Structure formats: C-alpha cells, structure tokens
A = this chain, B = another copy of it.
Amino acid sequence: DGKDKWPRGEEELWRANLRKPDTDVPSIARSFVNHVQTSLARQPHNLSDLGAYLATGLSVRDNLLLNWNETQMHMNRVAGKRAYYLSLEFLMGRTLDNALLNLGLKDQYRESIDRLGFNLEDLIDQERDAGLGNGGLGRLAACYLDSSSTQELPVWGYGLRYKYGIFQQLISPDGQQLEAPDPWLEHLNPWEVSRADVQYEIRFYGEAQKYVNGTARGVWYGGQEVLAVAYDVTIPGYDTRNTNNLRLWASKPKRGFDLQSFNAGNYEHAIESSNSAAAITSVLYPNDQTTFGKELRLKQQYFWTAASLADIMRRFRNLGKPMIELPDYIAIQLNDTHPTLAIPELMRILVDEEDLPWDVAWYIVTNTFFFTNHTVLPEALEKWPVPLMEHLLPRYCAIIITPLSISSVEHKFPGDHDRLARMSLIEENHPKYVRMAHLACIGSRKINGVAELHSELVRTTIFKDFLDFFGVSKFGNVTNGITPRRWLAQCNPDLTDLITKTINIPKNIWLKDLSQLEELLKYVEDEDFLEEWAAVKQANKERLAHYMRVTLSLNVNTKAMFDVQIKRLHEYKRQTLNILGVVHRYLTLKAMSPSERKKLTPRNVFFAGKAAPGYEIAKLTIRLIVNVARVVNADPDTKDYLNVFFLPDYSVTMAEILIPASDISQHISTAGTEASGTSNMKFCLNGGLLLGTVDGANIEIAEEVGSENVFFFGHLTPAVEELRYQHKHHPVPVEEKSRNLAKVLDQISSGLFGDEGVYEPLLNTIRQLDYYLITDDFDSYIEALQMIDDAYNDRTEWIKKSIRTTAKMGKFSSDRAIQDYAQEYWNIESTKVE
C-alpha cells in the first residue's frame, strides 16, 4: 500500500518533529535567526551582508532539502524508470533568487529579511556564480535540470565538483585578457550537501587480464585508487515539490597522506599521491573548440563516468531486478562525447562484475545510452591516443575494440574498405586514436542534434556512414530550450508581471506552458500595452546602466539602441565581424557632417565573453574591441552616436542583466557552425530582436516569429564549403570583395586604435584563408545593420516586432525539450510529489 515500515524508534515522536518547509514570514524569520546563531555562530551585532546571505541560503536550503527528501522517497516508492543526465559542465549561475522563485517564497523572504534589517537584493548579490561550465553546453544542462524538476520527471544530473570553475576574466588597461582562478567555494556553499558516506573507489593504471575460461570476462587490478565523494545539489521545480538531484563528484586520496614518506623526510613525495588524487576535480577545462590530449582531462572523464555508473548501478541493484531489465529502469543521456567512457564502463561492469555474456551486455548497453551531439566541426570531435588509454584504463582497449564487429559492416557493405576505415572506432595514425563520437554513436540507442539544421548536418556529415548502417530511426533532433523561469521570470520580473496582467493567465500556468505567450498577439494593437512594453524595456536599460555605473564606473546613454553580443569568444561566432562592423560605422560617422549625424539613432554596442586562455586570435579580438571602445567612446565627433563596451568576466548573472535590456542581439556565426545557440532564445523571449545568420536555432526562431521580425544576412550553409575552396585555391583580395571591409582593415592596420601591428595576426586570418567567411558576409552584414537602424526608427512597429517575438517563443522552453527527451528517448514518466 506504499506505506513505509517504520524503521526505528517511536514513530509518533519522529512524525511530530518532522519539519515542513517554512513558508510564512514568522517562521522564515525564526529559521534565519536560528542559522545566524548556530550554523554561523554570529549575533545580530556582527552579521555582515555575507553572513545574512549565508543565513538566508541555509534557511532556503532547509526548505529545498525537505522537498528533496520527499522527492527521493517518492521516487524510491514508485520505483519506475529514471533518467540520468551526464554532463561535464553544469553552468548553474546563482541559486538563491531562482530557488525563491521556484519555491514561490520570494515575497515572504523579502519581508522577513527586510524586517531583520537587510535587503534581499543586496543579499542575492553576495552570491558567487557556480561557474562549472564554459558556455552553452553547460547552461543547457542547467536549464534541463530545472525543467526536469518542473515537469516532475525522475531525472538526476551527474557532474564534477570542480574546486575552481571557469576562470575569472580580467582585462588589462591595454585590452589583454588575463585569467585568474575562480575560488567559488571559498566561503561556505549553502547549496550543497556533502555525502561523506556516498563514495566509490575509482581505479587508474594497473593491469588488466582476461579470464582463461573462454568468456569475455576480464579483471583489472593494481594501479592508483582514488575516492569519488558525492556532493548533492538540490534542483527545485517551479511550483511543485518535485526537487531533483544534481550529484557532483569530488576526488580525494584513498589512503590519505603518505605518512611513511613524510616520516622519511620526503614531504614532497608524501603529498604527491594526495595531490594527484585531489587534482582530478580541481579545475574545469576551458573549452577552446579543438580537441586536446591532456591526461588529466581523460582522468576527469573516467573518474566521473565510473563514479556515476557505480552509483546508478547501486540504485538499480537495490530494485532486485534481473540485469537484462536494466534498460527498463535506466536511461542515461550523454551530453556530448565527454561521458562516452560510460559505454565501455557499463560493459566492464556487466561483463567483468556481473559475468554476463558479451552480447547480452552489449544489448543492455545499447538500450540504455542516448547521445547528444553538440558540434559537427571536425576539429572539435574528441579523440584520445590509444597508448594513453591503454596506460590509464588498461581494461578498456579490449572492450572498445570489440563492439562494432568488422564482419557486420563488411557483411552489409562488402569490399568497401574506405567505409570500414571511416567507421572504425580507431583512427589509424601515429599514434592511433580512439574516436569518441563513433563510440558514442554505436553504443547509444539514439543520437540527436540540438537544432533542425544541426541534426540534419549530423546525419549527412559526421555520421553519414552510420546512418547508412543503422538506418534513420537511430537519429533524431531535439532543438535546445531554455527555462523561462530563470530567463524571464527571474531576470525580467517587470515583463513577467506585464505579461501576466495582459494575458490574464496565472503566472504559474503560463511559465509551465510557454505556448500561452501567443495570447500576447491579441494585444499588439493595444497602444497602452505597447507603451507599457516599451517602458519595461526602458527600465531594464536603466537597470543595466546603473549596474555598469556601480560596478564598472561606466556611463551608458539609456536613450540609445542597445545592441548586444554575449557568448564565448570564438572565430566561428564572429565577434570579429561585429567589431569590424562597429569600426565601419565609426568611419561612416566620422565622414558625416554634424547635422547628418544628428538624424541618427545613437547605438550602444555591448560585448561580453571569455576567450579560452590559449586561444590567441580570440584574445586579440577582445583586445581590438577594448581599444576600439577606448577610441570611439572618447571621440567628441561620435561619442553621442556610438559607444562600445566590453564587460569583463561574463557570467550567467551578467547575462541576466544584459539580456532584458537588449533591443537587438547578434548571433552571427558562419553558417553551419553554431549547432543551436541558446542565448538567441533568451534575448527573443525578453523581447529583443535577432540579428543573425541562417544558422542553428536562429532558423527555427525565424520560423516561429516570422522572417519579417528577424534580421538575417550572409551566405547559407550549402555555400560554405565551396567558398572555402575558393578562398584556398582562387583567393581574391579583400579590396575586390568588399571595399568597406578593406577600408576597415586598413584603418586598424594603420594604428587608428593604437597598438600598431599587434592586430595583424587577427586581420591576416581575414585577408588570407578567411575560413569563417568574413569577407563574403561583410557587406550583407552592413546592410542588415542598416535595416535595423531603419526599422528602429519606426518605434511602434519595433515594439510590435518585440512583442511578436516574445509571443512566439513557446517552442523554446526547455520544458518542451525535456519532454521530447522523456517521451521520444528515455521513455520516462512524470510523477508528482504530493
């Protein structure tokens, strides 16, 4: 009957004392004061804002944990199928504000805290972002967790608890990016629970042998053993008690400290093994969009997948079901190829530990895993040297080489040796490499891309041979989504209130069914509504300007158009195109008479983003942006019409301030390179218009909102390959392709923005191979910018475009995306915690 047998002690006494969440002002105040006195050992007399934030966080955590406990008990009772989302990155940002939103307790906490002498917004600002990701991939994982809880789906995330997250970006006076470590765990982290009792031993190195009994079974022994210790992060759903878990693993030495060496006077050696274990989860690797072969990164991947699988298997074994039913109870999503080692690891467990025949194990594996591809750029496809793999994971090579038996491919495509070589898990090179994407592909039940165009490219380029072999049903698409809780309700409360008032649907309904936004279309002709809509945008611009004044001492003209490009710095994302366009505008302005200029709408161009520390060209783009800003913003001829800002140390929290303030945002990757993009969705959801190439999710956004409401430019994906061929084999000078661009490049070269000569390596990437087609797209880009200027001058029509954009963003809720995964891939069901 679902009732638990009481474990021990007086049930009545336990029940009488089991807490419910604190939901009213008095009990919240009590909880806050209690944490001040005990958890923090402080008094009202010496409580700083940081202390008050921690007390608030601990109080909120109590509420979250009570729901979390209920959820775990509920899911154990239901004992249905669960999904596990393995991602090497979870870019969570801040937690407090979002938790209060999802719990529906923001007003109550605000009042309690106010009466106790603090200001909730100030306390929220004390929180340091959890920056455990580089960009879109990690933030997507965070959005999916929010949606999985909100949709009441049984999903856990598994990741690593990096001691240092994505680096802090500093900008030197001359515009160079400097990197500093991100000690985000410096203070008490109120959002995690350490689970010292949940730990697994993970083996590295050592030796592997096969049994001599003729089976596939093997054994792996010796080497280094490292402990994986669990830290749990609560993931509250919106307007529900369902609270999923994000389990992050930290590494620590199994045997502690090497005391023998210490006593022998060799302190260095004594801490060596301790360090080598602790190092595994020390730092998040920066993403530079090319593969790189660092042993420690491979250790991270194995450590994490092995710990996660051990944990998943423990939970499965507790069900007491036969192994063959594993796929009926477990779905594991691989977020990119980073967790691909989970495939051979599950094989190892099933064959070596469970003693299953190879084919049965392979059946289980290939019905358990699902794989999301995030890139078709060849240079970004992960591969690992076979010798390194053999050394670090000696049991693995035997497992990895076997699965896709050559004979079945040969049987289907007799004599097609090229195909065999292309499809092989091993790249024949010196040394040989394991192709992780191939392994992920053959080991998974389904593979998906993250937008329609990208999924098409997945099928027709990198996995074309596999499509031929496995058939089309193995391949699908789940267009990315974003959570409207953080990316609208939390970051733009004024717009949220306006929408709720206008469409007259309760917020907790439409935030969970984002297609309801279409109701807004009924009000596009309502002038009062248009005014209110514009007023909210204006207020958000003021908020951004205030933030920039306070934190960066920069003055921002809030009457200007706000044009924003925020994302990782990368050549394919073409921040360079944007800044070259800015220079073009600057030169155009300089050539104008004062009276001509007066007719123009002033424009603020905002940039933010980090470049991978080793990515020199991307860092040079930052330097160019900073120095263009320095010159342009100081030029008395132009400073009233054009301002450029580079905001250092881009983060989720910064995005939450920038996005609601944007009139237009730029998503201008070379066609075919951006798999989806998600910040495009965030801007559009907040009524910002989109300037983009026909790439990634831009296409689907245009399909939804109508092409008349977006600004497209540039060559299309099918043209790219031929253009690159021409660049290489029949180069044409920039002057002949775009006189505008040539002039811009010349001015930069000539030292208009200082630093003579320093930008040449960057400019030469355009003058020479121009792999990212800046020469081809520049003029059409300038035209698009001009169209935006013109459109913006029609204020009313612009506001209508803005409303129409927001109204049609329902598709891009991560609730839709996670339900796609749940139904089409994982086969799991929502189950509400009462």
Contact = CB atoms under 8 A, between A and B. Distances in A.
Interface of A: 4, 6-10, 13-14, 17-19, 29-30, 32-34, 37-38, 40-45, 47-48, 50-51, 61-62, 65-66, 68-69, 73, 115-118, 163-164, 167, 179-183, 186-188, 193-194, 196-197, 232, 255-260, 262-265, 267, 271, 275, 279, 282-283, 286, 294, 296, 613-614
B48 A69 contact: no
Given A19-B33, A65-B37, A179-B259, A73 B45 contact: yes
Contacts of A6: 44
Contact of A41 (B68, B181, B196): B68
Contacts of A14: 33, 44, 116
Contacts of A164: 256-257, 259
A29 B44 contact: no
A48 B68 CA distance: 19
Contact of A196 (B68, B186, B271, B286): B186
Contact of A167 (B19, B187, B259): B259
B43 A29 contact: no
B257 A282 contact: yes
22 contacts: A4-B45, A6-B44, A7-B47, A7-B117, A8-B116, A8-B117, A9-B44, A10-B117, A17-B32, A37-B69, A38-B62, A38-B66, A41-B69, A164-B259, A181-B255, A181-B257, A181-B258, A259-B283, A263-B613, A267-B294, A267-B296, A271-B275
B69 A43 contact: yes
Contacts of A258: 181
B179 A188 contact: no
B9 A117 contact: yes
A33 B8 contact: no
A702 to B, nearest CB: 38
Contacts of A260: 179, 613
A365 to B, nearest CB: 30
Q: Which 5 A-B pairs have the closest CB atoms?
A: A9-B117, A8-B117, A181-B256, A263-B613, A17-B33
A282 B271 CA distance: 9
Given A115-B13, A279-B271, A18 B38 contact: no
Contact of A30 (B17, B44, B45): B17
Nearest to A182: B256
Contacts of A613: 259-260, 263
A341 B17 CA distance: 52
A180 B259 contact: yes
Contacts of A187: 196-197
A697 to B, nearest CB: 31
A219 to B, nearest CB: 27
Nearest to A164: B257
Contacts of A37: 18-19, 62, 65-66, 69
B9 A34 contact: no
B197 A48 contact: yes
B263 A614 contact: yes
A32 B13 CA distance: 11
Among A33, A41, A66, A181, chain B packs the most CB atoms within 10 A around the CB of: A41
A149 to B, nearest CB: 16
A468 to B, nearest CB: 40
A294 B282 contact: no
Contacts of A186: 196
Given A14-B44, A116-B14, A183 B33 contact: no
A584 B6 CA distance: 60
A265 B259 CA distance: 29
A656 B592 CA distance: 91
Contacts of A68: 41
A32 B182 CA distance: 36
Contacts of A183: 256-257
Contacts of A271: 275, 279, 282
Contact of A10 (B19, B115, B286): B115
Among A38, A40, A164, A181, chain B packs the most CB atoms within 10 A around the CB of: A38
B167 A115 contact: no
A453 B17 CA distance: 58
Among A17, A30, A115, A187, chain B packs the most CB atoms within 10 A around the CB of: A17
A557 B603 CA distance: 93
Contact of A51 (B182, B197, B259, B264): B197
Contacts of A17: 29-30, 32-34
